[in-house]
């Protein structure tokens, strides 16, 4: 009977300590998430040269369409010959 009593106290102590550890870990894990939720992230660009490169080549789809049109015209002219 004494062994059963000591064993049950040991299990209860492990459960209480484990529960406190679990809640502490959970609180620390989601603490940063709560601090960042709902905030806008501002990205600062430090390189000035990237913007000028993008402005020169800003119409990629038009270039692809023009090149594919030329390619299709060449292929159709080869097919007729």
Whether 13 maps to a domain, the answer reads: yes
Q: For residue range 39-71, list pLDDT tens digits in order.
A: 666 666 666 555 555 555 567 788 888 888 888
Whether 60 maps to a domain, the answer reads: no
pLDDT at res. 33:
65
User: How many domains, the chain?
Assistant: 1
Q: For residue range 8-37, list pLDDT tens digits in order.
A: 999 999 999 999 888 888 877 777 665 556
Whether 65 maps to a domain, the answer reads: no
Domain ranges, residue 19: 1-29
Whether 8 maps to a domain, the answer reads: yes
- Is the confidence at residue 4, as pLDDT, over 70? yes
Q: What is the DSSP string of the chain?
A: -HHHHHHHHHHHHHHHHHHHHHHHHHHHHHHHHHHHTT-PPPPPP--SHHHHHHHHT--HHHHHHHHHHHHHHHHHHHHH-
pLDDT at res. 14:
93
Calculate the average pLDDT of the chain: 76
């Amino acid at each position: 009977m004494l062994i059963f009593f000591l064993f049950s106290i040991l299990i209860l102590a492990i459960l209480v300590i484990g529960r406190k550890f679990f809640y502490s870990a959970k609180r620390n894990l989601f603490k940063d998430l709560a601090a960042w939720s709902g905030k806008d992230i501002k990205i600062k660009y430090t390189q000035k040269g990237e913007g000028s490169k993008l402005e020169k080549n800003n119409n990629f789809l038009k270039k692809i369409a023009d090149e594919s049109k030329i390619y299709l015209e060449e292929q159709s002219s080869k097919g007729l010959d």
